């Protein structure tokens, strides 16, 4: 049984969640990394397939979409189950750690950690910006990456912003959302999905997460160079989690405290926020504005 679980982790985890602390333990790790490096092309092929499947799912529920409808959540029961586990882990481990980080670590150090993580993410953003049809934006992002990696001491300092190159952040979920068929509202990201540890997502954004993982040079390189997971991926992931959790603390605490059904409130807020990001990238004529969708509220009132 134990072996089975480990095997499942080996096949699933590396592609789904970049560098998640793998509960399945030490001896399996070398195996995982080896198998990933060998099957990189297969992995990419599979990701493309998954993207196609997600696109079909996203497109499949486009009709009759009024702004009044709730988020499509066909697997609500398992999602709520995962959400309950996530909240427990958060309460016991992640949130206290994030509070200590927020209150105990000096502000400049926190800023540098954020800059470092942001800098590692720039190549993925640049690739996505190319695929979003914005090569000049991608060039700026790459310039930022080069400047910050050198003058900014491996990304610890955001020198590029001082030079007037503003940071942008995008991901493959937004790229898919942008190129979804005409009339597919950005609110429609396929079925809603609660990922273990990673939190709220949907078919579109989870696919995007896999794609981002597959194209990230800073995930491919350590594998190619045989860098031990323990020295690179794990610290990067851990820092990402703590940094992200400390920044979302205020908003999430507020949402939790002021909602009667936290799961539903978070589902709605996540969907709206992602839609806003995607809508700002899409052609105006391609989708109705959020307000036009909401004009339909009058029909069901």
Partner 1 sequence: MPLLACRRFVLGLAAGVAAAVVTVPVLAADPGQLIQSTATDAIDIIKKTTPGPARQAAIQRVLQTSFDLPYMGQTALGVNWNKATEAERARFLKAAESAEARAYSERFGQYGGQTLTVGKVTPRANGLFIVDSQLSQTSGQPVKLQWEVRDAGRGLRITDVKVEGVSMIMTRRSDFNSYIQSHGGMVEPLITELESRAAR
Q: Is 284 in the site for partner 1 (CB under 8 A)?
A: no
Among 267, 282, 287, 288, binds partner 1 (CB under 8 A): 267
Minimum Å distance from CB 266 to partner 1? 9
Do residues 10 and 35 make contact, with C-beta atoms less than 8 angstroms apart? yes
Q: Which is nearer to partner 1, 20 or 165 (CB)?
A: 165
Given 44, 50, 61, 68, the residue binding partner 1 (CB under 8 A): 68
Cβ at position 226, least distance to partner 1 in Å? 38
Length of the chain: 301
Distance from C-alpha of 252 to C-alpha of 273, rounded to nearest angstrom: 13
Closest to 147 (Cα-Cα) out of 159, 130, 156: 159
Tokens (6 digits) for 24: 């399945």
Residue listed under structure tokens 């490096």: 37
Residues near 35 by beta carbon (within 8 Å), at least 6 away in sequence? 10, 11, 14
Phi, psi of 248 (to 5 degrees): -95, 0
| Residue matched to tokens 């079909």 | 56
Neighbours of 133 (CB within 10 A): 12
Q: Is 103 among the residues that bind partner 1 (CB under 8 A)? A: no
Residues numbered 221 to 250 that lie near partner 1 (CB under 8 A) are none
**Is there binding between residue 255 and partner 1 (CB under 8 A)?**
yes
Based on the shown chain and the rule CB under 8 A, indicate whether residue 117 belongs to the binding site for partner 1: no
Give 2 or 283: the residue with its C-beta nearer to partner 1: 283
Among 275, 282, 287, 288, binds partner 1 (CB under 8 A): 275
Of 128, 117, 130, residue with least CA distance to 215: 128
Does position 84 interact with partner 1 (CB under 8 A)? The reply is no
Which of 35, 39, 272, 296 contacts partner 1 by CB under 8 A? Answer: 272
Q: Which stretch binds partner 1 (CB under 8 A): 38-46, 66-74, 177-185, 212-220?
A: 66-74
Q: Is 258 in the site for partner 1 (CB under 8 A)?
A: yes
Q: What are phi and psi of 106, to 5 degrees?
A: -60, 145
Binding segment for partner 1 among 41-49, 192-200, 211-219, 266-274 (CB under 8 A)? 266-274
285 sits near partner 1 (criterion: CB under 8 A) = no
Q: Please, which residue, 236 or 279, has the CB nearer to partner 1? A: 279
Long-range contacts of 148-154 (CB under 8 A, 24+ apart): 148/115, 148/119, 148/122, 149/119, 152/115, 152/119, 154/116, 154/119
Q: Which residues bind partner 1 (CB under 8 A)?
A: 68, 70-71, 107, 254-255, 257-261, 263-265, 267-269, 272-273, 275-277, 279, 290-291, 294-295, 297, 300-301
């Amino acid at each position: 049984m134990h072996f089975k679980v480990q095997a499942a982790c080996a096949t699933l985890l590396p592609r789904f969640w970049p560098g998640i602390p793998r509960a399945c333990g030490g001896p399996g790790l070398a195996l995982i990394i080896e198998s990933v490096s060998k099957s990189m092309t297969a992995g990419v092929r599979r990701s493309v397939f998954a993207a196609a499947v997600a696109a079909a799912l996203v497109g499949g529920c486009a009709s009759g979409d009024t702004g009044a409808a709730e988020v499509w959540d066909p697997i609500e029961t398992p999602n709520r189950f995962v959400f309950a586990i996530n909240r427990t882990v958060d309460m016991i481990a992640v949130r206290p750690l994030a509070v200590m980080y927020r209150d105990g670590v000096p502000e400049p150090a926190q800023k540098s950690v954020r800059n470092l993580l942001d800098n590692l993410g720039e190549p993925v953003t640049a690739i996505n910006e190319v695929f979003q049809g914005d090569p000049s934006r991608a060039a700026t992002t790459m310039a930022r990456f080069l400047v910050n990696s050198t003058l900014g001491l491996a990304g610890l300092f955001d020198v590029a912003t001082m030079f007037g190159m503003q940071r942008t952040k995008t991901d493959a979920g937004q790229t898919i959302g942008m190129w979804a068929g005409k009339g597919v509202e950005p609110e429609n990201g396929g079925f809603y999905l609660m990922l273990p540890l990673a939190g709220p997502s949907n078919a579109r954004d989870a696919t995007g997460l896999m794609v981002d993982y597959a194209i990230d040079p800073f995930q491919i390189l350590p594998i190619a160079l045989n860098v031990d997971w323990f020295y690179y991926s794990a610290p990067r992931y851990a820092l990402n989690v703590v940094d992200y959790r400390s920044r979302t603390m205020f908003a999430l605490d507020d949402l939790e405290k002021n909602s009667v059904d936290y799961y539903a409130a978070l589902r709605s807020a996540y969907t709206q926020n992602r839609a806003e990001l995607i809508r700002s990238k899409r052609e105006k004529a391609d989708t109705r504005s959020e307000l036009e969708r909401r004009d339909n509220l009058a029909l069901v009132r």
